[in-house]
Amino acid sequence: MCGIAGWVDPARPVEASTVRRMTDTLAARGPDDAGLWAGPDACLGHRRLAVLDPANGQQPMLTTDDRDEAVIVLAYTGEVYNHAELRLELERLGHKFRTDTDTEVVLHACGQWGSRAPERLNGMFAFAVWDAPRRRLMLVRDRLGVKPLFYARHGGGVLFASEPKALFASGMVAPAVDTDGLRDFFASVRTPGRSLFTGVREVPPGCLVLVDHRGVRERPYWTLAARPHADDLPGTVDRVRGLLADITDRHVRADVPIGALLSGGLDSSALAALGHRALPLRTFSVDFAAPFVPDRLRATPDAPFVRDMVAHCGFDHRDIVLDSAALTDPTVREAVVAARDAPATGNMDASLYLLFKAVREHSTVAISGESADEVFGGYPWFRDPVSADYPWRYLTGRSGTYQALLRADVAAELAIADHRFAHYRQALAEVPVLPGEAGRQRRMREVFHLHFTRWLPDLLDRKDRLSMAVGLEVRVPFCDHRLVEYAFNTPWSLHTFDGREKSLLRAATVDLLPPSVTSRVKAPYPVTQDPAYDQAIGEQARDLLASPNAAVWTLLDPSRLRGRLSRTPDQATRAGIDFALSLDVWLRSVEVKKL
What spatial distance separates the first Cα and last Cα of the chain, rounded to whole Å?
38
- Is the per-residue pLDDT at 394 higher than 60? no
Query: CA 2 → CA 23, 161, 470, distances in Å?
Result: 11, 11, 12
Cβ density class 320-359: b for 16+ within 10 Å, e for less: bebebebbbeeebbbbbbbbbbbbbbbbbbbbbbbbbbbb
Average pLDDT over residues 450-462: 95
Q: Are 256 and 233 in contact (CB under 8 A)?
A: no
What's the mean per-residue pLDDT of the chain? 94
C-alpha to C-alpha distance for 457 and 370, rounded to whole angstroms: 11
The secondary structure of 294-316 as a DSSP string is --SS-SS-SHHHHHHHHHHHT-E
Check residue 1 and give its pLDDT: 66
* List 2, 43, 313, 479, catalytic entry: 2
- Is the per-residue pLDDT at 234 higher than 50? yes
Strand pairing partners for 42? 8
Label residue 568 by pLDDT band (50, 70, 90). Answer: confident
Check residue 232 and give its pLDDT: 98
C-alpha to C-alpha distance for 589 and 592, rounded to whole angstroms: 10
Average pLDDT over residues 216-240: 98
Q: Is 479 a residue of the active site?
A: no
* Residues in Cβ contact with 104 at an 8 Å cutoff, skipping those fewer than 6 apart: 57, 61, 97, 98
**Each residue's pLDDT tens digit, 141-196:** 999 999 999 999 998 899 999 999 999 999 999 999 989 999 999 888 889 999 99
Check residue 222 and give its pLDDT: 98
**Each residue's pLDDT tens digit, 346-370:** 789 999 999 999 999 999 999 999 9
Lowest mean pLDDT among 311-315, 426-430, 571-575: 571-575
- Is the per-residue pLDDT at 396 higher than 50? no
**Each residue's pLDDT tens digit, 531-553:** 999 999 999 999 999 999 999 99
- Is the per-residue pLDDT at 393 higher than 70? no
* Residues in Cβ contact with 137 at an 8 Å cutoff, skipping those fewer than 6 apart: 6, 8, 42, 128, 129, 130, 131, 158, 160, 209, 210, 211, 212
Label residue 397 by pLDDT band (50, 70, 90). Answer: very low
Backbone angles phi and psi of 500, in degrees to 5: -125, 175
Strand pairing partners for 366? 259, 474
DSSP category for residue 476: -
- Count CB neighbours of 134 within 10 A: 13
Check residue 399 and give its pLDDT: 60
Label residue 395 by pLDDT band (50, 70, 90). Answer: low
Give the total residue count for the chain.
595
DSSP category for residue 391: G
Cα–chain center distance at 531: 31
